[in-house]
């Protein structure tokens, strides 16, 4: 398999500038003023088993930091389905990651946005969405829909800058099986939360 080339430093600066412009136009869309860092992306990608067959859905890929980490993890490009709301980011992702499936649309209507693109159940959902900017009921509905789409043991992987679960556990009674240590190399520091169906084996 051809490994993805690392994003060059000058491209990272351009990505940060585009990210900042998008954030300035709609702060709630992104939830941060810079893309996630490589250390955080690698920690999230580590929660996805590349040996398990099936598609992997990425929510809110932005400039592709997480996408690059998933490809480096060993996932074939055609297994990745990226759902991105911002058209400019979609264009960048298609140019940067040939073979990856980029879907422009709303991640909070997961099934409707994907339509008939999936031919088998996803093995994981990896999210960089700013969940805390959305109402609790909407977050819980997203998690429920992701679990409904995925294989029974599939993880929903999310990062957060908060001390508390970005998914409302009182409305989404699922097992919170793992959180990572704080990733201090990310700006701001963040950690990874992994959600699975109740009773699923990690």
* pTM score, whole prediction: 0.82
Residue 187: pLDDT band by 50, 70, 90 thresholds? confident
Average pLDDT over residues 130-155: 94
Query: pLDDT for 39-94, tens place per residue?
Result: 999 999 999 999 999 999 999 999 999 999 999 999 999 999 999 999 999 999 99
What is the Cα–Cα distance from 182 to 5, expressed in whole angstroms?
27
Query: pLDDT for 8-20, tens place per residue?
Result: 554 655 554 454 4
Q: What is the pLDDT of residue 2?
A: 45
Q: Calculate the alpha carbon distances from 37 to 12, 41, 42, 68, 149 in Å.
A: 10, 6, 9, 11, 28
Inter-residue contact 96 to 90 (CB < 8 Å):
no
Task: For the chain, list the domains and their CATH numbers.
Answer: 9-196 (3.40.50.150)
Residue 36: pLDDT band by 50, 70, 90 thresholds? confident
What is the Cα–Cα distance from 17 to 116, expressed in whole angstroms?
34
Least confidently predicted of 41-55, 132-146, 165-179: 165-179
Maximum CA extent, the chain: 45
What is the Cα–Cα distance from 187 to 35, expressed in whole angstroms?
9
Query: N- to C-terminal Cα distance for the chain?
Result: 27
Q: What is the pLDDT of residue 12?
A: 54
Average pLDDT over residues 19-35: 47
| Other beta carbons within 10 Å of 139 | 22
Residue 198: pLDDT band by 50, 70, 90 thresholds? confident
* CA nearest to 4, candidates 76, 95, 82, 68: 68
| Other beta carbons within 10 Å of 41 | 26
Average pLDDT over residues 92-97: 97
Q: What is the pLDDT of residue 179?
A: 85
């Amino acid at each position: 398999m051809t490994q993805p080339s690392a994003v060059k430093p000058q491209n990272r600066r351009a990505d940060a500038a585009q990210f900042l412009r998008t954030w300035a136009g709609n702060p709630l869309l992104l939830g941060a003023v810079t893309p996630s860092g490589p250390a955080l992306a690698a920690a999230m990608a580590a929660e996805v088993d590349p040996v398990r067959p099936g598609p992997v859905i990425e929510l809110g890929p932005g400039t592709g930091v997480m996408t690059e980490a998933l490809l480096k993890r060993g996932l074939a490009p055609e297994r990745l389905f990226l759902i991105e709301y911002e058209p400019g980011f979609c264009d960048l992702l298609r140019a940067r990651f040939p073979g990856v499936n980029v879907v422009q649309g709303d991640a909070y209507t997961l099934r409707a946005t994907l339509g008939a693109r999936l031919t088998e159940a996803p093995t994981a959902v990896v999210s960089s969405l700013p969940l805390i900017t959305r109402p609790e009921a909407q977050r819980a509905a997203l998690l429920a829909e992701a679990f409904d789409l995925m294989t029974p043991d599939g993880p929903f992987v999310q990062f957060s800058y908060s001390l508390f679960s970005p998914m409302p556990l009182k409305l989404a009674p699922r097992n919170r099986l793992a959180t990572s240590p704080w990733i201090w190399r990310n700006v701001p520091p963040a950690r990874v939360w992994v959600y699975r169906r109740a009773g699923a084996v990690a």
